[in-house]
Amino acid sequence: MKARAFSYFRAATIDHALDAHARAGDDARFIAGGQSLVPALSLRLQAPRLLIDITHIDELRGVRRDGDSLRIGALTRHCEMLSEPLIAEFAPLLHAAAPFVAHPAIRNRGTFGGSVALADPASEFPAMTLALDAEIEIAGPSGRRRVKADDFFIDLFETALRPGELITAIYVPLFKADQRFAFDELARRRGDYALVGCGIMATCTGERIDDIRISFFSVGNTPMRVKGAEASLIGSDLNAQRIAAAQGALEGDLAPPESDEVPPAMRLHLARVLLGRLLGRLGEDA
Ligand code: FAD
């Protein structure tokens, strides 16, 4: 199948892109890496009249320190999550997750902003923005704003983005000496979307966990923090008993939907297994 005919506009600035979208209304889409949008066009799952290419907008590029945060431009490609030294040093959870996103050809084109905007519940990076307590910077017809990742993912492929708004950057708190992280996923084959995946950021004093954010993907309609499991770990040393308690708490935190691929009970079991492994690794890092 081929995509329906569309017009193409290459935006040079954010204002250009926003104006073009405002003029075309619902019939326009921004295109970044095209790794999700182009297949959707080819399958005619989407058929906009206008594509607004945002890949030539300089303001959406680059990774730099900004106070206590790392500003990661929306156009940062998945492959740059692996190659950019600032990300390896100050956002190591993203660096750890990047090799699990698709395959090299897709990582060479796909962008961080595109992945977060799409909000596929099976994607690695949207879930990691939750674990990292990141903020999403948005530009739109009524100005600029920042939205916490906790408030960004609303429902299946539904986010806090309003029509015609553009993600400009994602701000991630700088990784600190008293923090630990862990990431892994369970997939049938490397490069496939995960059956279950998880990323963890913890702040510790010695063995004790002072704060922890645990985010799962491929377990429901959105990436999800598991607040019951988090609460069961805060204030305690990471030992076998606490890990078992956190695994038990997942029953209340997660309600995986029915699916042909993996029954809900199996997905919950896989989530428990994965959480146990990752918390075990965090303990080893102590
Ligand atoms: P595009 O395809 O250009 O756009 C996607 C959507 O986001 C569109 O609606 C577009 O309008 C919107 N958009 C893009 N940028 C912005 C922005 N800055 N602001 C607002 N809206 C914007 N992803 C994974 O996470 N894990 C995987 O394992 C994985 N496997 C894949 C396997 C295959 C075979 C393919 C084709 C893709 C896979 N992907 C996977 C998806 C890939 O990572 C995409 O690149 C990513 O989801 C979207 O980024 P993009 O830059 O390509 O966005």
Higher per-residue pLDDT: 265 or 191: 265
Nearest CA to ligand 1 atom 30: 102
From 172, 198, 220, the end of a domain falls on 172
Classify residue 11: in a domain, yes or no: yes
**For residue 20, how far is its CA from the centre of ligand 1 (angstroms)?**
21
Nearest CA to ligand 1 atom 53: 114
Instruction: Determine the pLDDT at residue 250.
Output: 98
Secondary structure (3-state) at 90: helix
**For residue 262, how far is its CA from the centre of ligand 1 (angstroms)?**
24
Residue 1 has pLDDT above 80, yes or no: no
**For residue 112, how far is its CA from the centre of ligand 1 (angstroms)?**
8
CB 208 within 8 A of CB 235: yes
**Ligand 1 proximity of 110 Cβ (cutoff 6 Å):** yes
Classify residue 212: in a domain, yes or no: yes
DSSP calls for 20-75: HHHHHGGGEEEESS-TTHHHHHHTTS---SEEEE-TT-GGG--EEEETTEEEEETT
Give the predicted TM-score (pTM) of the model: 0.96
- Reported as a single tens digit per residue, the pLDDT across 213-229 is 999 999 999 999 999 99
For residue 193, give the ligand 1 atom closest to its CA: 28
CATH number at residue 74: 3.30.465.10
* Dist. CA 26–CA 58, nearest whole Å: 25
pLDDT above 70 coverage of the chain, percent = 100
Residue 192's pLDDT band (cuts 50, 70, 90): confident
What radius of gyration, in Å, describes the C-alpha atoms of the chain? 19
Residue 241's pLDDT band (cuts 50, 70, 90): very high
Q: Domain limits at 262?
A: 179-284
- Reported as a single tens digit per residue, the pLDDT across 67-107 is 999 999 999 999 999 999 999 999 999 999 999 999 999 99
Neighbours of 121 (CB within 10 A): 21
Nearest residue to 248 (alpha-carbon basis) of 269, 263, 234: 269
Nearest residue to 113 (alpha-carbon basis) of 156, 70, 55: 55
Q: Once rounded to an integer, what is the mean pLDDT over residues 125-144?
A: 97
Number of domains present in the structure of the chain: 3
From 172, 203, 235, the end of a domain falls on 172
Answer yes or no: do 196 and 276 share one domain: yes
Residue 30's pLDDT band (cuts 50, 70, 90): very high
**Ligand 1 proximity of 101 Cβ (cutoff 6 Å):** yes
